[in-house]
Amino acid sequence: MSAKSIARRSGDLENTYDSLRVLNVERNGNIIYTYKDDKGNVVFGLYDCQTKQNEHLYIFETDLQAISCSINSERTLLATSLVQSTKEGRRNELQPGSKCLTLLVEIHPINNVKVLKAVDSSIWVQFLYPHVESHPPSENYLLLISEEKYIEQYHIQVIQEDGNKVVIKNSGHLPRHRVAEDFVWAQWDVLEQRLYYINLKKSESILKCIQFNADENFTLMFEAPLDISLNNSGFKLVNFGCDYLQDQEKLSKHPTLCVFTNNAGSLCVCYSPKFDTGDQITYSVFYFHKGYKKTFTTALGSADSHVTNDITFLNLDYYVAVYLPGHFFHLLNIQHPDLICHSLFLTGKSDMIERLPHNPLQSLAGSLVLDWNSGKLCRAQLHRSHLLLFLWNTPLDWEKIAALHCVLSCGRGSQLQEDQLILWISENISACHSFDLLQEFLIASSYWSIYPVASNVAKLLPYSSVLTWNTEIPGLTLVTEEIALPFMKVHSFKGYWEKLNYNLEYVKYAKPPFQYNNSMIRNEWNSLILEERRGKRRSTVYMRNILDNAMKVISNLEARNLEPRSVPLFKEEDNHQRLLVGLMVYELKEHLLRHLQGVEKKKIEQMVLDYISKLLDLICCILETSWRKHELHSWVLHFDGRGSAAEFAVFHLMTKILEATNSLFLPLPPGFHTLHLVLGVHCLPLHNLLQHIDNGVLLLTETAVTRLMKDLDNTERNEKLKFSIIVRIPLLIGQKISRLWDHPMSSSIIARNHVKQLLQNYKKQPRNSMIDKSSFSVEFLPLNYFIDMLTYIETSSQASEGHDNVDAKFVGETALKHTTMLLGL
């Protein structure tokens, strides 16, 4: 919203543009502005952000300069501070001899004017905006902030007369209380109704915060020492309206200091000392919710540009923007500031810098920004499409990872954005050298999928796959120092204060960090797989619980995706992946239950299901995007024909997914390994295929090998392939698969596996040779002895169950045939 658009909507003439100024933005978003009409009178108006209409509030028929203004939520009272005009021949007719007048006006309807202050120092005014449901319309509270370094709260009661006429009750004596005094800096948070101010105590700067509650009581919430110097900086106010006089004329004399919070319980203090023109600028950010501060020293983007102390800090929820027009734009991740790669640092050479205003900016409440030169008032937001475009175009790894996290955090729940990210990732899977792009996307996107409904799990789930970052960012140096934590002055917390206190307690006591790591289940999963290969099983109850967990995840995933997928996944009982999914559900649930006190068990269980479902869904979506892009179909699962370029592209992508998930020990969708193996048989030469199998890149699943045995005929090439595969399959499924291939080589393999299993646990015992040899006897004594031993094992209690289709006679016949073939007889 610009000054011209406000004036145009209010129906005033062009000559009001120059004098029109925004004075304040109230908690409900309404804008109070002032201008001088053609007679020199001071006019106050209000722009309603809901109706998009202007409303005339009051007019002073005298030449005064408004420095502050506020209106109560019912629009019945107007408070303003005015100073005498500097024009010759005009004088303050309301209160001669004073520099500043603070007035309280009844405006519903326009009635009396009460003088609250008539002093030589400047005064700023601000009505409190409590929650509507808890605020009686007759109760109003007004803050007066004096240049003499004190803040008072006025209690104003109003009554109705003659129908709807609102007047001040007992206007001759308004109760007031001293809120703060002897401060050198103060900031008003209009959205959360908080007052931050700094006292000097033995040359130490102490930051304090007062919370104004729904019942209009105010409470000192915390005190925090700041390692900054404000001794000679004088008096400075932040966010008490749009004070052009103070911020423009005195800007060069003061350091820039802002306090930012968000609903996740963060508390940041951004500080930039007064600086002279030079080739670099330093600023600090105190991350109180993390227990340290970071001091950034950045080279100026353009050495020829004029530098003034007009650095701007903007609150963008999970980020703080630090902007110096024409030089640099930094986007600091305040939720996860540990690694520099999670923040974005752009210099004046960037195209994104060119899109930003080149004029001095004033940061107001929330993310509102006032452009002094143009008079435009706008709300700063991170534009997802611009961030995506920047992500696609930047060649630098640290900018890629920072932009990726920024897109995910500011666009939670946007399916279109997620589809665009997945398309970009599938085409740039190997574009980053400093980190694994796929891992970063899977971890960060899964994290943000449940963050909005469970922000208290932020410290318990991994946010990034990157643990360290040693790459320097050109033009930027960084120093990290521990700081003293705020001292909370109250003991009962709600809302934001509860989350801040939780963060502070975590900094104090949570060492080492409590983040979940999926490798915690690696040993258990390997143990279960080994037991399966040996034919052993855990208790039925335990295994049923694990597999039930996996079924819940898959059901949850299928319920969230109603459209059928093109990729043939979830079409088989992949027990190994189901075990891994079930174990992850169990371990992650136990992890959250240990560290999340006071959260319902059902809520935690649902969070776990949603988190793991999202992880699997992302893998499916990446495959689905590539599958549809290359126009593949379900017939890919058949083995007839050679692999195309499209199939090889999908195979390469699946291999990258496998590498990314293996190093983090993350589960894959059931059916992934089957599809991967089929594509591998299509696309790879035999020797490369076998290398992939032997190195564990391709896994021989029962479904894939069964299809291979059934689909391929017994040509020489296919026989070689089948034999190479069948000798590598696990013994547990080898017996079943071998019988699908009607070939002498298959019989030989069946016999070998049978003998191997019989002799594996064989314990030699004394026995008499009472076995009837007439059933099978050849003139080859070693073979006769071997058959005799196998027959004894089969008929004794040492034999294993489940091999009634294989006996010693079959083994003997197979061995004899194989021997005669080798001897050429």
For the segment 341-356, what is each residue's pLDDT rounded down to a tens digit? 999 998 877 777 777 7
Is residue 394 in a domain? no
Query: Which residues share a beta bridge with 260?
Result: 268
Pairing of strands 280-287, 292-299: antiparallel
822 vs 672, more confident? 672
Highest mean pLDDT among 77-91, 566-580, 637-651, 658-672: 658-672
Distance between CA atoms of residues 372 and 359, nearest Å:
7
For position 741, what pLDDT does the model report? 55
Q: Which helix (H) or strand (E) holds 660?
A: helix 645-664
Q: Which two tokens stand for residue 404?
A: 């990726």
Question: What pLDDT shows up at residue 735?
Answer: 59
| pLDDT for position 583 | 94
Determine whether 587 is exposed, middle or buried from the number of CB atoms within 10 Å of its CB (0-12, 13-18, 19+): middle
Greater confidence, 473 or 170? 473
Check residues 524 and 758 and name the one with the higher pLDDT. Answer: 524
Residue 406 lies in a domain: no
Q: Quick one: 716 and 813 in the same domain?
A: no
Do 796 and 676 share a structural domain?
Answer: no
Q: Determine what percent of the chain is predicted with pLDDT higher than 90.
A: 36
Of 690, 713, 742, which closes a domain?
742
Res 794: pLDDT: 61
Distance in angstroms (rounded) separating the CA atoms of residues 592 and 6? 52
Strand residues in 162-250 grouped as ranges (E): 165-168, 176-181, 183-189, 194-201, 204-212, 218-226, 236-238
CA atoms within 13 A on the CB side of 50: 3
Q: What is the pLDDT of residue 719?
A: 78
For residue 4, the model assigns a pLDDT of 47
Q: Could you tell me if residue 631 is left (phi over 0), alpha (psi between -120 and 50 degrees) or otherwise beta?
A: left
Least Cα distance to 149 among 102, 124, 177, 184 occurs for 184
Q: What is the model's pLDDT at position 773?
A: 47
**pLDDT of 279:** 79
Whether pLDDT at 781 is above 70: no
Query: Does 139 score more than 90 pLDDT?
Result: no
Is this model's pTM higher than 0.75 or not?
yes
Position 395 in a domain: no
Mean pLDDT of 686-695: 91
pLDDT in tens, 205-238: 999 999 998 776 899 999 999 999 887 667 888 9
Question: For 475, left (φ over 0), alpha (ψ -120 to 50), or beta?
Answer: left
**Can you list the positions of beta strands (E) in 348-430?**
361-363, 368-371, 377-379
Q: What is the mean pLDDT of residues 664-681?
A: 91
Distances (CA, A) of 116 to 78, 81, 119: 12, 9, 10
At 244 the pLDDT is: 53
**Burial of 89 from C-beta contacts in 10 A (0-12 / 13-18 / 19+):** exposed
Omega of the bond leading into 109 within 30 degrees of 0 (cis): yes
Whether residue 73 contacts residue 32, with contact meaning beta carbons closer than 8 Å, is answered with no
Assign 822 a pLDDT band (cuts: 50, 70, 90).
Answer: low
Tokens 């983007």 locate to: 301
Do 729 and 773 lie in one domain? The reply is no
| Contact by Cβ (8 Å): 185, 230 | yes
CB 675 within 8 A of CB 654: yes
pLDDT band at residue 755 using 50, 70 and 90 as cut-offs: low
Domain endpoint, select from 181, 198, 220: 181
Confidence of residue 12 (pLDDT cuts 50, 70, 90): very low
Six-digit token pair at 700? 């021989």
Q: In the structure, what pLDDT confidence band is assigned to residue 416 with cuts at 50, 70 and 90?
A: confident
Percent of the chain topping pLDDT 70: 78
- Predicted local confidence at residue 407, as pLDDT: 92
Query: 141-150 burial, b for 16+ CB within 10 Å, e for fewer?
Result: bbbbbbbebe
Select, from the ranges 130-144, 167-181, 704-718, 774-788, the one with the highest average predicted confidence (pLDDT): 167-181
Instruction: For residue 286, give the nearest of 309, 307, 313 by alpha carbon.
Output: 313
Q: What is the largest CA-CA distance in the chain?
A: 137
Structure-block tokens of residue 782: 């070693």
Q: What average pLDDT score do residues 534-556 get?
A: 86
Which of the listed ranges 127-141, 246-260, 414-428, 763-777 does the model predict with the highest average pLDDT?
414-428
- The number of domains in the chain is 3
Q: Name every residue whose Cβ is closer than 8 Å to that of residue 749 and which is 6 or more positions away in sequence.
A: 726, 727, 734, 738
| Contact by Cβ (8 Å): 62, 94 | yes
Nearest to 466 by CA among 418, 521, 405, 425: 405
Q: Are residues 719 and 782 in the same domain?
A: no
Angle between helix axes 397-410 and 384-393 (nearest 10 degrees) is 160
Tell me what the pLDDT averaged over the chain comes to: 81
Query: Among positive and negative, which fits the CA dihedral 289, 435, 451, 578?
Result: negative
Partner residues linked to 269 by β-bridges = 259, 286
383 assigned to some structural domain? no
| In-domain check, residue 498 | no
Are 642 and 529 in a shared domain? Answer: yes
Q: Does 33 lie in the same domain as 115?
A: yes
Tell me, yes or no, whether 816 and 723 share the same domain: no
pLDDT for the residue 90: 45
pLDDT confidence bin for 812, thresholds 50/70/90: low
Residue type for position 423: L
Q: 603 and 629 in one domain? A: yes
Higher per-residue confidence, 368 vs 593: 593
Q: Which residues of 297-307 are buried (b: 16+ CB within 10 A; e: fewer)?
A: ebbbbeeeeeb
The pLDDT assigned to 802 comes to: 45
Pair 682, 772 in one domain = no
Q: Which of 3-12, 329-338, 763-772 has the lowest mean pLDDT?
A: 3-12
CA-to-CA separations, 486 to 201, 259, 308, in angstroms, rounded: 16, 13, 32
Query: What's the rounded mean pLDDT across residues 150-159?
Result: 93
pLDDT-derived band at 385 (thresholds 50, 70, 90) equals confident
Average pLDDT of the residues in 366-381: 78
Same domain? 79 vs 144: yes
What average pLDDT does this structure show over 163-173? 83
Q: What pLDDT is recorded for position 703?
A: 83
Contacts of 657 (CB under 8 A, 6+ apart): 438, 619, 622, 623, 668, 672
530 domain residue, yes or no:
yes
- In angstroms, the CA 353 to CA 346 distance is 7
pLDDT tens readout for residues 600-621: 889 899 999 999 999 999 999 9
Same domain, yes or no, for 734 and 773? no
Does pLDDT of 44 surpass 80? yes
End-to-end CA, the chain: 98
Q: Which domain holds residue 774?
A: 755-825
- When pLDDT is averaged across residues 659-676 and rounded to a whole number, the result is 92
Report the C-alpha gap between 751 and 790 in whole angstroms.
11
- Express each pLDDT in 278-314 by its tens digit: 778 899 999 999 999 999 999 875 555 555 557 889 9
1 and 123 inside one domain: yes
Nearest Cα to Cα of residue 178 among 135, 145, 147: 145
Q: What residues contact 509, with CB distance under 8 A and at least 6 apart? A: none
Whether residue 785 lies inside any domain: the answer is yes
The pLDDT of residue 401 is above 60:
yes
Which tokens hold the place of 66?
């408004």
Rg (CA), the chain: 37
Residue with tokens 């060492």: 511
Domain end among 181, 198, 218: 181
Query: 161-186: string of b/e by CB count within 10 Å (b at 16+)?
Result: eeeeebbbeeeeebeeeebbeebbbb
Establish if 306 belongs to a structural domain: no
Which has the higher per-residue pLDDT, 170 or 183? 183
